[in-house]
Structure 1
């Protein structure tokens, strides 16, 4: 008997010992009555919550296709990534599990930033999903879907070893350095010189779907864009400079968003032309928050790499014509929910899988309220500052110092391990997380910190406690003060 079969059997026998979400669950009666949909899941890299037209605070971004999709979709305004940067968030999505179960907390290594400013020895990070993890793609394949991957994998081995029948451009690479061909990426042939990667990936999606459209399909489209390096057509960049963006890099970012939107439109047009739109569930989201940029104001604090709202909150749309009623929903959801939701819609039981997300299909298909639950994040690692002036982190040296975070109702709790510090925010009154209420609301702090402790114990979350012998409190404080002085 193979190791994989033994592990699956053990998972089935022990699934009742996990979280409340880990017990086997059959699809409900209404879900069973639906024909399982095709699935197109578009995951944009580093697209912030406010970086799409329907969420922006300015008129700078041009995303007409995504804006139209939003009108046709159930739009979640309190949607979260499973982590604040690339690999760990994708690991949560593909495994349906929180970080402590798969051990991917950041983009390796976990020892980022000046060693003299790291008080603790952080938890060692895993670089990819273990082969024993049953991915979403593997489960959908078992349910009868043909599976295709188009873009960034970043979870270790090539995706065709973890459930995908077709793989274009997916590997352990976390980014491309060349948006224009030659791409110099594994698992994709270079196109004509000057071909744009986002367009090429979209063409690959369209060609593949067209060729297998008579079979149920799962098209996973994790674009490399809009991750750095910022590269776009000069004429489109000029368009944003003409609109008043004075920083050329930020104008280029806006142009990349427009390129991405154009290609989302091509996928939607293809589904319509191939008479697939009515039986295809389209999911549109981002893997984490975007970089905080001065040209694009956001009500959210911080950005990619931070466990404030700007690093975690993402756009999220679900469209299934005549099945999912368009509108806006404020329920807090997380990308760990995609796995159990798609299993339910594919009419495949969990079969003993330990999943930390919940099935959203009752909400999506029947507008039934979800049972109240808390969302959790764990980051026992360091991630250095990106731009200390705009990061809006706890301090200017790091976007993340080791800690955990949770959302419970409208409350957001952050716990930093170095000095056992807590931050508590009421998101209903303070979306920008500017007013720390930890000292003013002791009963709320006590309740939430107990919940967080209980979750960490149940899931086996590692909490670093070993002191770093190279740490210098004096150097740490001097560097913090130096960065703060620059802002004056």
Structure 2
């Protein structure tokens, strides 16, 4: 009996160690089975600014290949029409009223004498209390890195990223910022003349090479193709000689698009060379519509900063070999609010203490359908004109005045708060939003308005109502007349 007892004491530590080892091995195996995720966000890339979506001027062979190997969504939307709110929606999985980031910087943009109401105060930093996509993935073993524009606070490492290269508060790379010496934070200087897009790609590839034992989440929010427009001299010369058409003809911008495309090709080649292609999901998109004065998106109306289609409709491509069928298209309406719940389902994360306003796209990615639903947008602030002659806004003073939007199937309703006015469009028949049907179809207008009001109540969306004492009707009318 004594001998058996001694023997038990001797083997007990070995047995416990084996159990522990088996547990660690199980966890490691589970981590290795999780797909790597690469989210490529091209700043201010318009819906039609790649060959895949219709451009005949910009050359994007690698994005073409990505589409041929994956699925494109033709009715994809950003959840907001400009940079910071769209990124906040992506990272939080929550619509603008929940996090309070509606625009960039202050909400009282434009001349005070032309604003009829006092806008809702804007928030500029995503609260640390928000559980971001990065935090959700990091909690289950992902190695997380961001390479490029953050625009939601000082340091994305407080929001779940292990590595931050180039991300901070700023929304663009600054004057001459696309070539070293750089003006962006936390990147370290490269040799003079090094290109920022190329450098960020190199850093992302290096990160992926080092992430051997864990799945990785690479957030690659390029600063390109945001202004200031800068490109290689040889590319500018190439596109100047090529020429364009009345909609797309800016040679510097074309060069920036091609540089992004080239670097996406580098990422795709790296994945294939390292045997990572089959276990990596790539998502390609933009954070909002393109700047109309730089690149027209016709037939879409307007551009960045507007809640007409040109400001919120963006390209989406998803590639995941052997999961997503190659060279497929979907007409399902989606937004970047859907990315969080999609990655949550794919990764098997059990995070439950956060509200998500989107839905998982996995059924559509596997060839199925998504449930019918409405898409909502809320912008209770002002955004002044970029170029009054080309913006195609509701008036030449603002790209957007305070309002909300609902998209329900082929129908789209704009509700403008200043005068309680409405614009109703059938996107199947009028994608350019030129023919307002609100007065012709009051029943449909009322139906959509009721849905919009229920949603605003549900999410606590603030509506500005206080009149602006600085407003001057005569001054506004005179200024509009001069710009028309």
Settle same-fold status: TM greater than 0.5: yes
**Contact 1:141–1:147 at 8 Å: present in 2 too?**
yes
**Contact 2:46–2:295 at 8 Å: present in 1 too?**
no
**Contact 2:377–2:405 at 8 Å: present in 1 too?**
yes
| Residue in structure 2 matching 1:42, options 32, 40, 43 | 40
| Residue in structure 2 matching 1:67, options 64, 69, 94 | 64
**Contact 1:245–1:295 at 8 Å: present in 2 too?**
no
Q: Which deviates further from its counterpart, 331-340 or 294-303?
A: 294-303
2:25 alignment partner in structure 1:
none
Pair 1:196 & 2:188 matched: no
1:483 alignment partner in structure 2:
483
Pair 1:272 & 2:281 matched: no
**Contact 1:150–1:204 at 8 Å: present in 2 too?**
yes
Residues paired across the two proteins, number: 450
State how far apart, in whole Å, the 2-side matches of 1:53 and 1:368 are.
Answer: 26
2:364 alignment partner in structure 1:
363
Tell me by how many angstroms 1:126 deviates. 0.3
1:416 alignment partner in structure 2:
416
After superposition, residues 310-389 of structure 1 pair within 5 angstroms as 310-326=310-326, 327-365=328-366, 367-389=367-389
Moved over 6 A (4+): 246-249
Pair 1:150 & 2:151 matched: no
State how far apart, in whole Å, the 2-side matches of 1:72 and 1:475 are.
Answer: 55
State how far apart, in whole Å, the 1-side matches of 2:294 and 2:149 are.
Answer: 27
**Contact 1:230–1:249 at 8 Å: present in 2 too?**
no
After superposition, residues 243-262 of structure 1 pair within 5 angstroms as 243-245=242-244, 250-262=250-262
State how far apart, in whole Å, the 1-side matches of 2:435 and 2:34 are.
Answer: 46
| Residue in structure 1 matching 2:137, options 134, 137, 140 | 140
Tell me by how many angstroms 1:296 deviates. 4.5
Cα offsets for 1:132-154 (capped at 9, x unmatched) = 01101000001211100000000
1:236 alignment partner in structure 2:
235
Tell me by how many angstroms 1:249 deviates. 8.7
| Residue in structure 1 matching 2:49, options 48, 51, 54 | 51
Tell me by how many angstroms 1:234 deviates. 1.0
Tell me by how many angstroms 1:185 deviates. 1.5
Unaligned runs of 5+ in 1: 1-31
Change in 2 beyond 3 A, CA 1:249/1:329: closer
Tell me by how many angstroms 1:128 deviates. 1.1
**Contact 2:57–2:249 at 8 Å: present in 1 too?**
no
**Contact 1:39–1:282 at 8 Å: present in 2 too?**
yes
State how far apart, in whole Å, the 2-side matches of 1:269 and 1:214 are.
Answer: 21
State how far apart, in whole Å, the 1-side matches of 2:382 and 2:275 are.
Answer: 48
Tell me by how many angstroms 1:231 deviates. 0.5
State how far apart, in whole Å, the 2-side matches of 1:85 and 1:295 are.
Answer: 16
2:128 alignment partner in structure 1:
131
Tell me by how many angstroms 1:115 deviates. 0.7
2:8 alignment partner in structure 1:
none
State how far apart, in whole Å, the 1-side matches of 2:56 and 2:127 are.
Answer: 44
Q: TM-score with structure 2 length normalisation?
A: 0.91
2:98 alignment partner in structure 1:
101
Cα offsets for 1:395-451 (capped at 9, x unmatched) = 010001000011000111111000001000000011111111101111110100000
2:172 alignment partner in structure 1:
175
**Contact 1:111–1:381 at 8 Å: present in 2 too?**
yes
2:15 alignment partner in structure 1:
none
Tell me by how many angstroms 1:352 deviates. 3.1
Cα offsets for 1:176-234 (capped at 9, x unmatched) = 01110010221110100000000000000111101113321100000000000000011
User: Is the radius of gyration larger for structure 1 or structure 2?
Assistant: 2
| Residue in structure 2 matching 1:120, options 117, 122, 136 | 117
State how far apart, in whole Å, the 1-side matches of 2:448 and 2:296 are.
Answer: 33
| Residue in structure 2 matching 1:166, options 163, 167, 172 | 163
1:439 alignment partner in structure 2:
439
Aligned CA-pair RMSD: 1.6
Unaligned runs of 5+ in 2: 1-29
**Contact 1:95–1:133 at 8 Å: present in 2 too?**
yes
State how far apart, in whole Å, the 1-side matches of 2:425 and 2:259 are.
Answer: 36
After superposition, residues 454-465 of structure 1 pair within 5 angstroms as 454-465=454-465
Q: TM-score with structure 1 length normalisation?
A: 0.90
* 3-state SS in 2 of match to 1:107: coil
* 3-state SS in 2 of match to 1:54: helix
